[in-house]
Amino acid sequence: MGLTKTEIYTKEQNKIAAMAKVIGHPARVAILQHLLKVQSCICGDLVDVVGLSQPTISQHLREMKSIGLIGGSIDGTKVCYCINKKTYEEFRDMFGNFFGQNLNPEDCC
Amino acid sequence: MGLTKTEIYTKEQNKIAAMAKVIGHPARVAILQHLLKVQSCICGDLVDVVGLSQPTISQHLREMKSIGLIGGSIDGTKVCYCINKKTYEEFRDMFGNFFGQNLNPEDCC
DNA sequence: TTTATATATTGCAATATACCAATAAAGACA
DNA sequence: TGTCTTTATTGGTATATTGCAATATATAAA
């Protein structure tokens, strides 16, 4: 049905999935990488850097903003985007915990 | 169009996105969490633990297997699944690098 | 006030994903 | 052999996602 049954999962499971999902598209990876490099930039820069249309970039930015990964501040007709440090560190902690566990030395399967 | 333009991104960007995408669904998060806890189990256990139908679990397992995050070994009519340690550590490194960078102390936006 | 610039929103088409019922496949066991 | 158990596959439906053209919105500049 294309509809995830969120109600059968824990809050943590849904949160982790939502955080991973926003990284799960190469355009959003490219946007994050650019913001990591230049600290902040406007929407139009990302259109040039990534190579998608302006509406498409705008939509990806909205998704990243809605989960709090980036912030945007209006500056005239332009909007300056940058990474939200607090959320970025939340992502670091979450993925760090999730993939920081010790597994048995040898695979069983 | 529902069709990601993978050709405009770097190999790394596509790889990172693919890795994140497989974590981007709560059922797959739940499967991973269970495998982390019990080390290995069969498909039927995951059907009980997660609460989705057997075909749906089977499909999620296939996605996780296709990217190498888990392995499965046939044991009679059952299939024993467990986490692939090498890939798991690849995930750790990738997310560690991606979210381990230093940002400016204050947000600009 | 008109025009230019930058971004967001709307509307749409095409593909992808999530889910399950039904069924197939294959080994275990009587 | 026939039945049971377990998992994979098929087929179908419904929703989600990706992408862009066209348009709306809003500020800047002439």
What CATH class has A10-95?
A: mainly alpha
pLDDT for res A1: 76
pLDDT at A108 over 90: no
List CB contacts of A57: < 8 A, sequence separation 6 or more. Answer: A27, A31, A43, A46, A47, A50
Map tokens 């046939």 to a residue: B74
> Please, are residues B17 and A20 in contact by the beta-carbon 8 Å criterion?
no
- pLDDT band of A8, cuts 50, 70, 90: very high
* Partner-chain residue, chosen from A21, A70, A109, that has the shortest CB–CB distance to B24: A21
Residue of B4, B6, B13 to mutate, testing the A interface (most A Cβ within 10 Å of its Cβ): B13
Q: How far is the CA of A2 from the C1' of D16 (A)?
A: 6
Amino acid type, B80: C
Percent of chain A with pLDDT over 70: 95
pLDDT in tens, B11-23: 999 999 999 999 9
Query: CB B95 to CB A95 under 8 A?
Result: yes
Measuring alpha carbon to C1', the residue closest to nucleotide C20 is B53
- pLDDT band of B2, cuts 50, 70, 90: confident
What CATH class has B10-96?
A: mainly alpha
> Please, are residues B31 and B64 in contact by the beta-carbon 8 Å criterion?
yes
pLDDT in tens, A45-101: 999 999 999 999 999 999 999 999 999 999 999 999 999 999 999 999 999 999 999
Nearest CA distance, A1 vs chain B (angstrom): 11
pLDDT in tens, B27-42: 999 999 999 999 999 9
Percent of chain B with pLDDT over 90: 93
pLDDT for res A104: 78
pLDDT in tens, A19-51: 999 999 999 999 999 999 999 999 999 999 999
User: What's the CA angle centered on B29, arms B34 and A1, to 5 degrees?
Assistant: 120
Q: Is the CB of B66 under 7 A from strand D?
A: no
Q: How far is the CA of A66 from the C1' of C19 (A)?
A: 27
Q: How far is the CA of A55 from the C1' of D21 (A)?
A: 10
